Amino acid sequence: MHLSWPGGPLRGTAQLPASKSEANRALILQALAGGGTLSNLSDAHDTQLMRRLLAAAPSTSVLDAEDAGTVMRFLTAYLTVTDWRGQLTGTPRMQERPIAVLVDALRQAGARSSYLNNEGYPPLELAGFTAAPATTGPTALAVRGDISSQYISALLMVGPRLPGGLRLQLTGHVGSRPYINMTVALMQLFGAACAAQGDTLLVQPGAYRPTDYTVESDWSAASYWYAMVALAPAGSEITMLGLRQTSLQGDQAIVAMMAHFGIETTFLPDGVHLQQHAAASESQALAFDFTDCPDLAQTVAVVAAARGILVEMTGLESLRIKETDRIDALQTELAKFGGGLREIAAGRFRAESNGFAVNGQSVATYHDHRMAMAFAPLAMRGPLTIESPTVVKKSYPQFWSELAKSGFTITAAD
């Protein structure tokens, strides 16, 4: 689709989807608890897919997690401890995303499973579960913390179903810790006895209790509106509903990051108000660590390059195994505009630009919803084309209609 901004300040109210991170955890916990009401579940594809597969599991022997990482990983653990028998598969890209860390841990806990194609990757054949008796104490597992917190969350959520509970030791550098904290907080809300002692997580055996919960709006989705205000004409402002000042989501870190780009955040009783103010000078270099909020990296890289503000970025390791290799994708697409994401040392990147301009370029999205939404705000600086725009259905199906409502000109490409 072709995307452009007609001019003048951005103003209005943006409707956000609910957090799929919260929703997909809450759906697993609801299933394990056997009840409870979840409110503000969005129509995001990943959330609806999780709901459908959980409902279908008792009567089918083949489940397709498609391209949804949380669905694949959370279901692998959930289906294992509920003794489901069958095949769990996904898209070709999902079959390239590793899952051995989780499968190995579940096998130690009593899972009988095998890989159908390539060792260490989906699809999986799940063939039953026999846990150690409670008299042997908690199941003790050690898991690397530097690959994906989704493995850790998947194991934690099924911990109460193990006869002796779970003792989970995280080894090495632990990334995306807010997502682990989110899992623990939601487990406690649903009645689990779960606590962290440094890098050791202890889960007591027992049943979850049915619980009612309202899912917060998505801070990852909010980051794209921060980007729009940061790139918009002077005087721009936007209100977003459903966000909480006390949030379980690590991507609330966008508030502090975007303050450096001149975006003031005011918390309201029912959301936040963003207003554009003076920003860091273009000569001022910034440094951000995305270890705990990797989904913000694309947003910040694009804004930094467009604004000509040097930003050193670390904690990007997990971006290599997302819907696409997001580091490669960013480097390729930013180069079209005169921007870049240059690796200046092992694990350290710098978002930079050299004559950055938006003048009709076409942005490839690599089957990745965040590529589409991270580059869309560049329309504030000139016309551009977004390829395969329907990828946003994964997390923010109403993204383009919300942009249109806010004044963007959107037309179908020939």
pLDDT per position as a tens digit, 325-367: 999 999 999 999 999 999 999 889 999 998 999 999 999 999 9
Token output for 122: 């989906």
Instruction: Tell me: is residue 394 an annotated ligand-binding position.
Output: yes
Instruction: Tell me: is residue 97 an annotated ligand-binding position.
Output: yes
- The dihedral of CA 337, 252, 159, 58: what is its sign? negative
Instruction: Tell me: is residue 350 an annotated ligand-binding position.
Output: no
Closest by CA to 44, choosing from 78, 70, 12, is 70
pLDDT tier at 145, thresholds 50, 70, 90: confident
126 pLDDT more than 80: yes
Instruction: Tell me: is residue 405 an annotated ligand-binding position.
Output: no
Whole-number percent of the chain with pLDDT over 90: 88
Instruction: Tell me: is residue 336 an annotated ligand-binding position.
Output: no
321 pLDDT more than 90: no
Mean pLDDT, the chain, whole residue set: 94
313 pLDDT more than 70: yes
What phi and psi, each to the nearest 5 degrees, are found at residue 181?
Answer: -60, -35
Instruction: Tell me: is residue 298 an annotated ligand-binding position.
Output: no
Note if 295 is an active site residue: yes
Question: Looking at residue 281, what is its pLDDT?
Answer: 53
- Mean pLDDT to the nearest integer, 121-130: 97
- pTM as predicted: 0.90
Find out whether 162 and 131 touch, Cβ atoms under 8 Å: yes
Set out the domains of the chain in order of their start, with CATH numbers. Answer: 2-17+217-411 (3.65.10.10), 20-206 (3.65.10.10)
Among candidate residues 46, 295, 325, 328, the one labeled active-site is: 295
Question: Looking at residue 283, what is its pLDDT?
Answer: 53
Token output for 59: 């009567």
pLDDT tens, residue by residue, 42-77: 888 999 999 999 999 999 999 999 999 999 999 999
pLDDT tier at 175, thresholds 50, 70, 90: confident
Task: Using alpha carbons, list the distances in angstroms from residue 386 to 1, 105, 301, 317, 401.
Answer: 5, 40, 17, 26, 14
Closest by CA to 161, choosing from 122, 186, 192, 182, is 192
pLDDT tens, residue by residue, 254-301: 999 999 999 999 999 999 999 998 765 555 689 999 998 999 999 999
Instruction: Tell me: is residue 176 an annotated ligand-binding position.
Output: yes
Closest by CA to 211, choosing from 28, 18, 19, 16, is 28
Question: Looking at residue 133, what is its pLDDT?
Answer: 87
Instruction: Tell me: is residue 150 an annotated ligand-binding position.
Output: yes
Instruction: Tell me: is residue 148 an annotated ligand-binding position.
Output: yes
Whole-number percent of the chain with pLDDT over 70: 98
Instruction: Tell me: is residue 370 an annotated ligand-binding position.
Output: yes
pLDDT tens, residue by residue, 206-231: 999 999 999 999 999 999 999 999 99
